[in-house]
A and B are shown apart, each in its own frame.
Chain A
Amino acid sequence: MAARILALAAMALLLAGCASPQAPSIAPEPAPAPLPTAAIDVPRQSSEVVPVQPAAAPIRIQIPAVAVDIQISPVGIEPDGFMQIPENITIAGWYRYGSSPGSATGSTVITAHVDDFIQGLGPFATLASLSAGAEIIITTDDGVDHRYLLESVQSIQKAQVPLDQVFDRDGAPRVVLLTCGGQFDENVRQYSDNVVAIANPL
């Protein structure tokens, strides 16, 4: 049985060989060498000139626990390099070169004078009496309310205030509220400390 099948198969092969005397070659061309591919993925961007849209500026701060609800103005730098602060103690200053509440990273820094001879104690005098967890609402000029919870309030001697951390632009988004506190030196008319309140987005 097996021998007959083999014989038939051999005949079929011979016949097939006779039927096509010159089989056309359909062998494929040798594969082209693959193009090299980039070893690493380097970030790319367009270098076209596009105007930078300014971030929404904070214009109002509310701290319900101590009944603070005041306006915020953008401020910069004094000629001596210190942060500008509005003369009016009932207006807070936002450091406009740093982050704003809409920024993906960094600290929104807001400062107000704690007091003034003529105007008396200011709203930010209440920072030192805040408890952790107090709610802070900052409204930006695009109408958005940004809500934060107070993490901590510290009184730090001015020389020891880590200004690069206060004015951080790369860390997690947060709000840093600043005013003065500690002891008062009548001779130079200055406070010894900064009161530093840190709040995180709700």
Chain B
Amino acid sequence: MRNKIIAGVAVGAIAAVGVALPAHAISDTNADLYVLHAVPGLTVDVYVNGDLTLDDFEPSDLAGPLDLPAGTYTVAITAADAADDSSPAIGPIDLTLEANMSYTAVAHLDAAGDPTASLFTNDLSTIPAGEGKLTVRHTAAAPAVDVLANGAAAFTNLSNPDEVKANLPVGTISAAVALTGTTDPAIGPADVTIAEGVNTIVYAWGSAADDNLTLAVQTIDGLHSVPGGVDAGTAGLAADSNNGLLIGGLGALAALIALAGFAATRITAARAAK
């Protein structure tokens, strides 16, 4: 071990010995649940296992995340200010949630225009550096669509209630939705930001018949990866002399051992707090 502290006391900030949980880990026991309201013109109450969980939930509202122990939950969606969940407008539906997963339950219209609910699993896989993920979900009362990015078809023939996804370079895309086989936008175009390490989830929702098709966006961040390293020199002009190495060695060794112990304590404490 010949790492050394040149200046200052590194307060466990960058410890040479370190273990970190993946940035996107949720919990070994719990799941994250988001709820999106994508039924036009209907304010609702959302019940989970008989308990009112979202009061006066408005169209296009996104709630969450709810931190729920893994298990099966019964969700019922009623008219706003119902006395209880005995006569739901949508559901009840059973949602099975697994630990360390992220879900979005969407109240939306099916292709024929009837209210329904779908459970989507949000992709939390690590995204390569410099890229973001675009997920598109069809939750609208409309036939199959093509998704256009910057005017060209990026995804084709997407049907309610399916999703498509891809990693894209970071930037802003002009996104539009057209009925499959056409290029005349039924929704958009709208500027959608593809941010690094973020799963940007775009929902097409509303009703083609009622002429209120629109987009909703949900983002889940923290999915980035880190560079493989930093090579910042090619000539050897700044290399340590052997002398410097000896002088730096002993004191730094003691400091590093203390540092490693401190870092381990911090990690234990952080895990216990989870």
Option from B16, B65, B129, B190 in Cβ contact (under 8 Å) with A156? B16
Question: Which of the listed residues A81, A125, A152, A181 has the most CB atoms from chain B within 10 Å of its own CB?
Answer: A152
Question: Which of the listed residues B6, B195, B228, B237 has the most CB atoms from chain A within 10 Å of its own CB?
Answer: B6
Option from B8, B23, B54, B197 in Cβ contact (under 8 Å) with A152? B8
Instruction: Tell me if B138 counts as interface (CB < 8 A to partner A).
Output: no
Instruction: Give 1 or 0 for each of B116-134: 1 = CB within 8 Å of chain A CB.
Output: 0000000000000110000
Question: Which of the listed residues B60, B227, B228 has the most CB atoms from chain A within 10 Å of its own CB?
Answer: B227
Option from A43, A120, A151 in Cβ contact (under 8 Å) with B237? A120
How many A-B pairs have beta carbons closer than 8 Å: the answer is 252
Which of B87-95, B154-162, B178-186, B213-221 faces chain A? B213-221
| A49 in contact with B232 (CB, 8 Å) | no
A38–B51 Cα distance when bound, in Å, is: 7
Option from B63, B215, B229 in Cβ contact (under 8 Å) with A161? B229
With contact pairs A85-B230, A132-B9, A154-B16 given, residues A48 and B129 touching in the complex (Cβ less than 8 Å):
no
- B residues in contact with A80, CB < 8 Å: 228
| Number of A residues with CB within 8 Å of any CB on chain B | 81
Instruction: Tell me if A25 counts as interface (CB < 8 A to partner B).
Output: no
| B10 in contact with A152 (CB, 8 Å) | yes
Question: Whole-angstrom distance from the CB of A109 to the nearest CB of chain B?
Answer: 9
- B residues in contact with A82, CB < 8 Å: 227-231
Option from A38, A115, A133, A164 in Cβ contact (under 8 Å) with B20? A164
Option from B5, B81, B84, B236 in Cβ contact (under 8 Å) with A186? B236
| B231 in contact with A180 (CB, 8 Å) | yes
- B residues in contact with A33, CB < 8 Å: 83
Instruction: Give 1 or 0 for each of B70-93: 1 = CB within 8 Å of chain A CB.
Output: 000000000001011000000000
Which of A12-20, A56-64, A135-143, A170-178 faces chain B? A170-178
Instruction: Tell me if B165 counts as interface (CB < 8 A to partner A).
Output: no
Instruction: Tell me if B15 counts as interface (CB < 8 A to partner A).
Output: yes
With contact pairs A121-B237, A184-B236, A196-B14 given, residues A155 and B227 touching in the complex (Cβ less than 8 Å):
no
- A residues in contact with B18, CB < 8 Å: 162, 164-165
| A114 in contact with B62 (CB, 8 Å) | no
| B233 in contact with A97 (CB, 8 Å) | no
Question: Whole-angstrom distance from the CB of B35 to the nearest CB of chain A?
Answer: 8
Option from B54, B196, B233 in Cβ contact (under 8 Å) with A191? B233
| A154 in contact with B4 (CB, 8 Å) | yes
Instruction: Tell me if B114 counts as interface (CB < 8 A to partner A).
Output: no
Find residues 29-50 in chain B having any chain A CB closer than 8 Å to their own CB. 35-36, 45
Question: Whole-angstrom distance from the CB of A46 to the nearest CB of chain B?
Answer: 6
With contact pairs A42-B63, A44-B62, A162-B18 given, residues A125 and B232 touching in the complex (Cβ less than 8 Å):
no
Question: Which of the listed residues B7, B11, B84, B248 has the most CB atoms from chain A within 10 Å of its own CB?
Answer: B7
A195–B239 Cα distance when bound, in Å, is: 11
A158–B245 Cα distance when bound, in Å, is: 16
Option from A37, A155, A178 in Cβ contact (under 8 Å) with B4? A155
Instruction: Give 1 or 0 for each of B197-238: 1 = CB within 8 Å of chain A CB.
Output: 100001100000000000111100010101111111111111
| A165 in contact with B20 (CB, 8 Å) | yes
Question: Whole-angstrom distance from the CB of A81 to the nearest CB of chain B?
Answer: 4
- A residues in contact with B7, CB < 8 Å: 130-132, 150, 152-153, 197
Instruction: Tell me if B264 counts as interface (CB < 8 A to partner A).
Output: no
Instruction: Tell me if A160 counts as interface (CB < 8 A to partner B).
Output: yes
Q: List 12 A-B contacts (CB under 8 A).
A: A77-B227, A114-B238, A115-B235, A116-B233, A120-B235, A130-B7, A131-B7, A132-B8, A152-B6, A163-B228, A165-B14, A165-B20
